Amino acid sequence: MSTQEQARVSIQSAAERVDRGAGNLRWRHFKGRLLAVFGWFSIIFGLGMLLVLILDVINRATGIFSGGPNWLTWDFFNNFDSRFAQRAGAEAAIFGTLYTISLTILFSFPISVAAAIYLEEYASDNWFTRLIEINISNLAAVPSIIYGLLGLQVFARWLLFGRSILTGALTLTLLVMPIIIVASRESIRAVPLSLRQASYALGATRWQTVWNVVLPQSIGGILTGSILAVSRAIGETAPLITIGALTFVPFLPRGIMDIFTVLPIQIFNWTSRPQDDFRSLAAAGILVLLAILLTINALAIYLRNRYQKRY
Amino acid sequence: MTIIHDMVRENPNALEARNMSVYYGSFRAVKHVNLAIEKNRITALIGPSGCGKSTVLRSFNRMNDLVPSARVEGEVLFHGENIYAPEVDPVNVRRRIGMVFQKPNPFPKSIYENVAYGPRINGWKLSKREMDELVERSLRGAALWDEVKDKLNQNGLSLSGGQQQRLCIARALAVEPEVILMDEPCSALDPISTLKIEELMFELRKNYTIIIVTHNMQQASRASDYTAFFLMDSDRAGELIEYGPTSQIFQNPKDERTEQYISGRFG
């Protein structure tokens, strides 16, 4: 814009200056309040439902409100499954879940974070990496039973791992990897470029910059994404049924090549029994599953806070 | 006799760009720059936005390598060696030619760790005492020691903007570079902090060569020994219009465009 044009515009607007007012200010404020009220009810609805669900499950399992029998006893943790509700317990399922999820974390976390680092910090931007990116995003949305079929064929049959804990953990690893990769990439991308530049300008190599600057900055987001992913894996039933995780396992797994069952399958099985007592057992199983989940999440949050503080 | 001989023979230039052009993809951002930077002097690069002065600065320590599409033609000589020669490792170049950025960018670590970062990543085997000394020396060099000596374990981000920028300078000094590149180091700072950085630059000049990009004409005129004026040509490629002692550029420019720019008629 030349100076002459600028001058003409400013003269005109000065001559035509009128007070256009605040317009529909009341309406604008009203819309803001409307949204706040809607948001409040949304939260109440969500939390209320969750509360009802949890209280119902607690009542079912322990009879604490209705005065029924308590199923969440020492025996529940120390007995294997049985066709008599009084003698049935979840020991095999609890240990199966713990083993499987530990192995899943062990496999999926380092591989996924390494993949995310490679894609964000090392890979050049070409059609091939873009293809990989699109595919990873799509994989995160694939129904879990598909992974079960893949696990059955690749791990159980081709690699001869059978219906073992290893097969289950590897299948769940495939399931959660896309989620962790996507979350880690977002988190790594959010690290300011200026910090990377500062590191490079001091003579750091790419790896030193990733390790000392990028990862400490992004570990919070990476762990948050991993919590979500592991939470999903711990509740998965379909892929594990597909690879043949059993319900009735009357012993503790002695190694990663043993057959196993997990809590969601055990719960599913109990809820489909005709006797009402098994539904109370299922409720007890749900509580144990929730407790394991919350413990893992708490651990991840603790690690995140500790690491961020130290940094 | 030999002393005089050596002084004559010694290369007076810290850095020398020879016919340097910088491309971003197919776009030529800077063309055919010839610029010799004298040792232990402050050289200011000035010019309007987009004239390529920051690009030139970043080409001096291969920071442009981090932009995937960037490419440099021509030579940049450092100790008579082309830093763009295939056998040269850019990591090594960047240690010897440090950089301070436009916005203060301390790491979210303690003040001590910010300064110690460079020596650590460069694999210097220092005892605790040696490291303490290096940190103190660097912070003193950046005129920050007295303000932070009692809170070295506090986060670097807890400092004020001007202090953060001096922390970044201290961090750059800790790896003992020969040249320090400054990319508009005062543009995010208030006048008092700016003045402190300028005073600091005069101190640093004794031991280091400084190249500074600035938008501030007063800063260039009062705080530099040499000034290089850049301008875009009709293809939007930056070129060096005039280069000489600052007093000459500001009082008696040879090129009409330089005269117009420094007198504030455009840019």
Half-sphere exposure of A145 (CA within 13 A, CB side): 3
Q: Is a pLDDT exceeding 60 seen at residue B3?
A: no
Q: For the packed helices B128-141 and B161-174, what is the interaxial angle rounded to 10 degrees?
A: 130
Query: Of the candidates B78, B167, B200, which has an alpha carbon nearest to the alpha carbon of residue B212?
Result: B200
- The whole-angstrom distance between A235's CA and the closest CA on chain B is 37
A positions 216-245 inside 8 Å of B (CB):
217
Q: Write out the E strands in A203-268.
A: none
Which of B66, B109, B121 has its CB closest to that of A208? B121
pLDDT band at A1, cuts 50/70/90?
Answer: very low
- Dihedral pair phi/psi, residue A161, rounded to 5°: -80, -15
Distance CA B89, CA A203 (A): 10
**Cβ within 8 Å, pair B101-A192:** no
Searching chain B, which residue's CA lies closest to the CA of residue A201? B94
A198 touching B (Cβ < 8 Å) = yes
The answer on pLDDT for A4 being more than 70 is no
Question: How many angstroms separate the CA of residue B124 from the nearest CA in chain A?
Answer: 12
**At residue A254, does pLDDT exceed 90?**
no
Which residues share a beta bridge with B58? Answer: none
- Which pLDDT score, from 0 to 100, does residue A14 have? 63
Closest approach of A14 to chain B, Cα-based (Å)? 26
Rounded Cα distance between A237 and B182, Å, is 58
> Is residue A200 within 8 angstroms of chain B, CB to CB?
yes
**B91 and A198 in contact by Cβ < 8 A?**
no
Letter for the amino acid at B200?
A: L
pLDDT digits (tens, 9 = 90+) for B201-250: 999 999 999 999 998 888 999 899 999 999 988 888 899 999 999 999 99
Angle value at C-alpha A104, between A99 and A105, nearest 5 degrees: 105
Contacting residues of B for A199, CB less than 8 Å apart: 107, 117, 121
Q: Distance between CA B26 and CA B20 in Å, rounded?
A: 16
Contacts of B98 in chain A (CB under 8 A): 201-202
Q: Which two tokens stand for residue B218?
A: 């007063």
Instruction: Search chain B and give the residue with CA nearest A207.
Output: B121
In B, which residues are within 8 Å of A192 by CB distance?
105
Backbone CA torsion sign across A226, A228, A230, A233: negative
Q: What is the mean pLDDT of chain A?
A: 87
- Residue A308 burial class via C-beta count within 10 angstroms: exposed 0-12, middle 13-18, buried 19 and up: middle
Q: How many CB pairs under 8 A join A and B?
A: 62
What gap in Å lies between CA B220 and CA B208, rounded to an integer? 18
Where b means 16+ CB within 10 Å and e means fewer, A224-257 reads bbbbebbbebbbbbbbbbbbbbbbebeeebeebe
Put simply, whether A59 touches B (Cβ < 8 Å) is no
Give the three-class secondary structure for A218: helix
Contact A194 B103 (CB under 8 A): yes
Residue tagged 């004239």 (tokens): B51
| Whether residue A300 has pLDDT greater than 80 | yes
**Run of H or E including B38:** strand B27-38
Check if the beta carbon of residue B101 is closer than 8 Å to that of residue B168: yes
Query: Best of B61, B94, B168 to disrupt the A interface by mutation (most A CBs within 10 Å)?
Result: B94
pLDDT of residue A53: 93
Provide, as residue numbers in chain A, all residues whose Cβ is less than 8 Å from the Cβ of B109: 311
Distance (Å, whole) CA A253 – CA A256: 7
pTM summary value: 0.82
- pLDDT at residue number B44: 95
Strand ordering across the sheet containing B70-78: B81-82, B70-78, B13-24, B27-38, B238-245, B226-232, B42-46, B209-213, B179-183, B97-100
Banded pLDDT at B36 (limits 50, 70, 90): very high
Chain B: give the shortest CA distance to residue A204, in Å. 6
State the Cα–Cα distance between residues B91 and A12, nearest whole angstrom: 57
Residue type, B18: R
Largest CA distance in chain A: 94
Q: B185 φ, ψ to 5°?
A: -70, -15
Q: What stretch of H or E contains B231?
A: strand B226-232
Q: Find the residue in B nearest to A198 (Cα).
A: B105
Query: A118 at the B interface (CB within 8 A)?
Result: no
The average confidence (pLDDT) of chain B is 90
Q: Do A217 and B121 touch (CB under 8 A)?
A: no
Contact between A202 and B94 using a beta-carbon 8 Å cutoff: yes
Question: What is the predicted pLDDT for the residue at B2?
Answer: 45
A107/chain B closest Cα distance in angstroms = 30
Q: Which token pair is A83?
A: 């066709």
Interface test with A, best of B58, B65, B91 (most A CBs within 10 A): B91
